């Protein structure tokens, strides 16, 4: 097991490689023999009609589902099974299709929660909230404030996230994922249910994250316009199979993709 970190991998090299993954739930074959790679520094989109297995694919990548066959290589380490917290500690972070924020906590606490893995002060110091524990808290507050500035959510810092409108919740969720300073960020439909303006804002944040922080992003999205503009490369899935993989313009003109989206006469 090579203990590589994301910094050891040059831009353009494989950050993540999934090889021949198959996942089934009983008789339902959610994913069948899928292989693709994600290279460092790119925005990789995964698209496909409903039920194509896109979200299952993300769940496999961050260890929530365990595929029956195939391997995943992340940072040069090959694996099939992994607990989600292990994936998180290796630098995979994600947002969810249905907003999965910690509703009882404020925006600030949600984003602080995203930094849980970076905080290590033990129980003893925590008990007294003094010395190292307090310093750590303040140091991470500073990092969180940078994310809050970046996402322009200063005004809702202390608001419980349950009270926020949907668009802002999605933004806070992105902030929470960013707080972990991931090397691979998985976004599951970040623009679902948004109006045009909110989509444009979110697209700008996705591009900024990619360019300013150099974060590699894997993105699931249904809005073709957004996907074609944002993504460097696209994987197209249908019925659990990969039907196309390539640059946006190649995918757009691929006959299999057109058939999958528009249907074919039988």
Binding site for other proteins (CB under 8 A): 62, 64, 83-85, 87-89, 93-94, 96, 100-105, 109, 112-114, 116-117, 119, 121, 123, 126-129, 133-134, 136-138, 141-142, 145, 176, 180
The least distance separating other proteins from the CB of residue 58, rounded to whole angstroms, comes to 10
Q: What angle, rounded to 10 degrees, do the helices at 196-212 and 132-151 form?
A: 130
Nearest by Cα to 72 from 85, 89, 87: 87
Cβ closer to other proteins: 133 or 194? 133
Cβ closer to other proteins: 87 or 251? 87
* Residue 92 Cα to chain centre, angstroms: 7
- Partner residues linked to 254 by β-bridges: none
Burial string for 137-175 (b: 16+ CB within 10 Å, else e) reads eeebeebbeebbebbebeebeeebbeebeebbbbbbbbb
Cβ closer to other proteins: 19 or 145? 145
Backbone angles phi, psi at 212, to 5 degrees: -75, -50
User: Which residue's entry shows tokens 């074959």?
Assistant: 29
CA-to-CA distance for 83 and 236, rounded, in angstroms? Answer: 27
The least distance separating other proteins from the CB of residue 217, rounded to whole angstroms, comes to 16
Cβ closer to other proteins: 192 or 228? 192
The least distance separating other proteins from the CB of residue 169, rounded to whole angstroms, comes to 12
The least distance separating other proteins from the CB of residue 254, rounded to whole angstroms, comes to 33
Cβ closer to other proteins: 143 or 228? 143
User: Which residue's entry shows tokens 């831009």?
Assistant: 11
The least distance separating other proteins from the CB of residue 104, rounded to whole angstroms, comes to 5
Cβ closer to other proteins: 5 or 253? 5
The least distance separating other proteins from the CB of residue 41, rounded to whole angstroms, comes to 23
Q: Encoding tokens for residue 134?
A: 């307090």
């Amino acid at each position: 097991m090579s203990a590589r970190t994301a910094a050891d991998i040059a831009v353009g090299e494989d950050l993540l490689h999934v090889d021949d993954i198959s996942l089934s739930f009983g008789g339902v074959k959610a994913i069948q023999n899928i292989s693709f790679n994600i290279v460092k520094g790119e925005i990789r989109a995964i698209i496909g009609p409903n039920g194509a297995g896109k979200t299952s694919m993300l769940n496999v990548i961050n260890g929530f589902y365990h595929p029956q066959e195939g391997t995943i290589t992340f940072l040069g380490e090959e694996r099939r099974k992994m607990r989600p917290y292990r994936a998180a500690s290796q630098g995979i972070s994600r947002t969810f299709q249905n907003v999965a924020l910690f509703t009882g906590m404020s925006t600030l606490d949600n984003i602080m929660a995203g930094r849980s893995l970076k905080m290590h002060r033990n129980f003893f110091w925590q008990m007294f909230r003094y010395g190292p524990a307090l310093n750590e808290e303040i140091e991470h507050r500073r990092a969180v404030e940078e994310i809050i500035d970046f996402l322009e959510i200063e005004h809702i810092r202390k608001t419980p996230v349950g009270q926020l409108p949907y668009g802002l919740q999605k933004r806070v969720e992105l902030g929470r994922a960013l707080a972990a300073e991931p090397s691979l960020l998985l976004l599951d439909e970040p623009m679902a249910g948004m109006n045009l303006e909110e989509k444009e804002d979110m697209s700008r944040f996705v591009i900024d994250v990619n360019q300013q922080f150099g974060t590699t992003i894997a993105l699931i999205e249904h809005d073709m316009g957004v996907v074609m503009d944002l993504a460097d490369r696209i994987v197209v899935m249908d019925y659990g199979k990969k039907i196309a993989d390539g640059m946006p313009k190649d995918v757009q003109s691929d006959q299999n993709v057109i058939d999958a989206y528009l249907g074919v006469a039988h």
